[in-house]
Amino acid sequence: MIVNFVNFFLLWPLCLAQTDDISQPVPFQMVKIGDSATIECHIKSIIQKKVWYKYTLGKRLQLVVAFNDKYNWSEISEEFPNRYSAKFNGTKIHLSISATTWEDVGTYFCGVVQLKDIQFGSGTFLMLKGANMISESVIQQPESKSVQPGDYVTVSCSHTGHCAAKHTIVTWLKNSQHSASQIIYFSGNGTCQRKESGKTTCVYRLLLRDLSSDDDATYYCVVTSCGQTLVGNGTRIYIHNNAFESQLNPTIIALMLSNVALGIMTVILISTLCKSRRRNSTASTDGSSEDHQV
């Protein structure tokens, strides 16, 4: 049901070329803030100069590290701290970040450089989770919802801040226990209203259609506003089928319990009748024996 548009929406505004020789197998990666992160990239191209770039919504493309196979040298950009390092081993061109902070959130592209042309992979969006992940200025509704397969649901995201709407970009993330997390949608425009306090409140909506068991997940609204990344409280979508619901129906449960109780009572009654017949049979036999002795 959900189509992953991350490649198109991230690379289209950058006007960058892509190639099948470059593979970034993980489109979305989430680690706990403070932990280390390794972003994978595999390059089959024989082009000698390799690079890693970082793209943050609302900011320019930044060079992270450059490497040259021929001269076997690499250089980290001065814009990035020494927590960044790159490992070049054959076709593996992995970028490592130690002691991650909120400044590390963004989309990372590995690529090759030939003359004036740059070819990139599809990109990996790095998100951090931690105690400060949820922002009170980003409110999602509803908190949770149970739906049937084939139904649809609308999730809303409200953001209030001083930053103008034109400098705000909303990304929707899907976090499922059954599959890797993924970026599912970019929402550029919302319904905005400026308040007397000078703050602007914008509401963004995500419509999920034709839901299936694959859509059973938590959906997060990520707001990038004037360079700051804020995350909503999340909306949990539960997918229940009719068979499962019927099994949990109170009427069905009550009927099942009554049948069990009736069965138990029947067994007890039969057992009591059998014991009563045995006693009567024993008493009758004893009486016949006494009459015969007399």
pLDDT digits 0-9 by tens, 157-210: 998 888 877 778 888 888 887 766 677 777 666 888 888 888 888 899 999 999
| pLDDT tens digits, 2-36 | 333 333 334 434 434 456 788 998 888 888 889 99
* Eight-class DSSP state of 7: H
Cis amide leading into 142 (omega within 30): yes
For the purposes of burial, counting CB atoms within 10 Å of the CB of 13, is it exposed (0-12), middle (13-18) or buried (19 or more)?
Answer: exposed
* Residue-level pLDDT at 6: 38
Task: Tell me if domain 6-129 and domain 138-241 are identical in fold.
Answer: yes
CA distance 10 to 278: 85
Average pLDDT, the chain: 77
* Residue-level pLDDT at 11: 42
Range 138-241 has CATH code 3.30.70.1230? no
Residue carrying structure tokens 């001065």: 78
CA distance 199 to 248: 47
* Contact yes or no for 195/144 (Cβ under 8 A): no
Longest dimension (CA), the chain: 128
* Contact yes or no for 43/112 (Cβ under 8 A): yes
Residue 50's alpha-carbon distances to 22, 73, 240, in angstroms, are 11, 11, 48
| pLDDT tens digits, 102-130 | 889 888 999 999 877 888 888 888 888 76
Mean pLDDT computed over 222-250: 74
CA distance 10 to 57: 9
The CATH code that applies to domain 6-129 is: 2.60.40.10
Residue carrying structure tokens 């959906």: 219
pLDDT score of 235 more than 90: yes
Which amino acid is located at 153 in the chain?
V
| Phi and psi, residue 283, nearest 5° | -65, -40
CA distance 270 to 274: 6
* Token pair belonging to 219: 């959906």
Residue 98: band (very low, low, confident or very high) from pLDDT cuts 50, 70, 90: very high
Domain boundaries, the chain: 6-129, 138-241
SS3 281: helix
Radius of gyration of the chain (CA): 32
Residue 277: band (very low, low, confident or very high) from pLDDT cuts 50, 70, 90: low
* Eight-class DSSP state of 99: S
Q: Which of 92, 121, 104 is nearest to 27 (CA)?
A: 121
Whole-model pTM over 0.85: no
Residue carrying structure tokens 């997940």: 217
